[in-house]
Amino acid sequence: MNKACLAIVLFAVLPGLMAQNANAIFGSGYTGPYVPGVVPGDVITLFVEPLNVPDAVASQTPLPTSLSGVSVAIRAAGSNVVDMTGYPTSVPIFRVHSVNNSSIIPNTAITVQIPTDMVSVSSEGKVLSGYPPYVVLNVHTNGVSGPDFAVQVNGEAPHLLNSCDTIFGGVGPILSGSGCNPVITHADGTAVSYTSRAKVGETVVMYALGLVGGPLPPTGLAPTGPLPLPPIEGQTYFTYILDPPPQSSLESLTARYLLSPVYVGAVQGYVGLFQINITIPAMPAQTHVCQNTADANATLQEPGAPNESSRICVTP
């Protein structure tokens, strides 16, 4: 029986940033300091010069704005922001976790949510409600503040979750000791894996951060009822890589399908988390056989997303 492997591919940028002083944020991202853009409601981790504070995890919602003496101040920025009345001054915090390992730069990871609140912006001589083009973040530890760190809003997103993500306790690909597994499930909630493959015609569930296009839950709160979003804007492609095998040049050896998600909506009980349901399209006869968990012969590409990939095997 032929089996295919689905790779969920996104796009990213890797800067070589280093922290310079106390409380300094040297990067932000999902699994490491990649400094992606963000969208309102996005959940990212700030990587900071090591802080001498105990680890902590928020235990309830609304999420707190301080954990272990750590808070992250935020202010809207950009020349077209004319009124920030009502915009938060601190962001909700999921967790504070310090890492001291010889494989990576020692750091403290602070996982936060970007506010969903709007500001008044000036556009073509009119004042309208919208999101700030940039936000400036500043880490405070026991009352001591660090340098500012600017992040572009309405930047690169969405991000499809994998097991190395720091949002729910992952430690990144270097410290995990194994590959990063996609957070993709069958309809019954069990994980799609190499031994529990997705099937052609099956609807699978993926989890993502940074989706916009509809009403968003208030900052720091998890939805308690249905909150569907409009279909994801742009074009979503599922691409099978055809024979010859992966070691050959594959740029032109693909079969591409334009997909429309079956459902896109917020996940109840989780701050900032969304699910995307898609149906696996038919496999071409010449699809390369999925030989192991690292085989990458099919791709799901979301528009405007960071450059990362996750893989699952598909069987007819």
Higher pLDDT, 82 or 200: 200
Closest by CA position to 138, among listed 154, 121, 151, 120 = 151
Confidence of residue 171 (pLDDT cuts 50, 70, 90): low
Asked, for residue 274, whether it belongs to a domain, the answer is yes
Same domain flag for 128 and 209? no
**Partners of residue 25 on adjacent β-strands:** 48
Same domain flag for 148 and 41? yes
What's the mean pLDDT in 35-52? 88
Asked, for residue 31, whether it belongs to a domain, the answer is yes
Residues 6+ apart with CB under 8 A from 28: 34, 35, 36, 38, 44, 45, 46, 47, 149, 151
Specify the range with the lowest mean pLDDT, choosing from 8-12, 74-78, 221-225, 252-256: 8-12
**Structural domain count of the chain:** 2
Among 122, 155, 188, the domain boundary falls at 155
Return the pLDDT at 6: 39
Does the structure show a pLDDT above 50 at 267?
yes
Same domain flag for 215 and 274? yes
The DSSP string of 289-316 is P--STT---EEEE-TT--S-EEEEEEE-
Asked, for residue 231, whether it belongs to a domain, the answer is yes
Return the pLDDT at 9: 35
The Cα 150–Cα 138 span in angstroms is 9
Confidence of residue 216 (pLDDT cuts 50, 70, 90): confident
What's the mean pLDDT in 139-150? 92
H-run or E-run covering 45 = strand 43-48
Same domain flag for 143 and 193? no
Q: Count other Cβ atoms within 10 Å, centred on residue 186.
A: 17
Does the structure show a pLDDT above 80 at 186?
yes
Return the pLDDT at 128: 86
Tokens of 174: 């270097």
What's the mean pLDDT in 161-189? 72
Q: Where are the alpha helices (DSSP H) in the chain?
A: 172-176
The Cα 194–Cα 118 span in angstroms is 43
Q: In the chain, what percentage of residues exceed pLDDT 70?
A: 68
Same domain flag for 151 and 183? no
Look up the domain containing 93 and give its range: 25-155
Asked, for residue 168, whether it belongs to a domain, the answer is no
Higher pLDDT, 265 or 241: 265
Asked, for residue 228, whether it belongs to a domain, the answer is yes
Same domain flag for 148 and 186? no
Does the structure show a pLDDT above 90 at 156?
no
Return the pLDDT at 245: 55
Return the pLDDT at 159: 80
Tokens of 90: 């601190």
Asked, for residue 169, whether it belongs to a domain, the answer is no
Confidence of residue 292 (pLDDT cuts 50, 70, 90): low
Same domain flag for 80 and 191? no
Q: What is the CATH number of the domain that holds 100?
A: 2.60.40
Same domain flag for 205 and 275? yes
Asked, for residue 166, whether it belongs to a domain, the answer is no
- Of the ranges 92-106, 124-138, 302-316, the best mean pLDDT one: 124-138
Burial per residue of 278-303, b for 16 or more beta-carbon CB atoms within 10 angstroms, e otherwise? bebbebeeebbebeeeebbbbbbbbe
Same domain flag for 114 and 180? no
Does the structure show a pLDDT above 70 at 279?
yes
Q: Count other Cβ atoms within 10 Å, centred on residue 62.
A: 13
The Cα 87–Cα 105 span in angstroms is 34
Note if the bond before 50 is cis, omega within 30 degrees: no
Specify the range with the lowest mean pLDDT, choosing from 34-48, 155-169, 214-228: 155-169
Among left, alpha and beta (phi > 0; psi -120 to 50; other), residue 142 is left
Decide: 168 and 243 in contact? Cβ < 8 Å: no
Return the pLDDT at 302: 59
Residues 6+ apart with CB under 8 A from 143: none
Same domain flag for 185 and 145? no
Asked, for residue 19, whether it belongs to a domain, the answer is no
What's the mean pLDDT in 175-181? 60
Does the structure show a pLDDT above 60 at 232?
no
Same domain flag for 150 and 185? no
**Phi, then psi, of 223 in degrees rounded to 5:** -65, 140
Q: Name the average pLDDT for the chain.
A: 77
Among 107, 126, 155, the domain boundary falls at 155
Burial zone of 113 (CB within 10 Å; 0-12 exposed, 13-18 middle, 19+ buried): buried
Same domain flag for 186 and 306? yes
Return the pLDDT at 296: 53
Among 90, 124, 155, the domain boundary falls at 155
Q: Any idea of the CA torsion for 41, 47, 53, 58, to the nearest 10 degrees?
A: 20
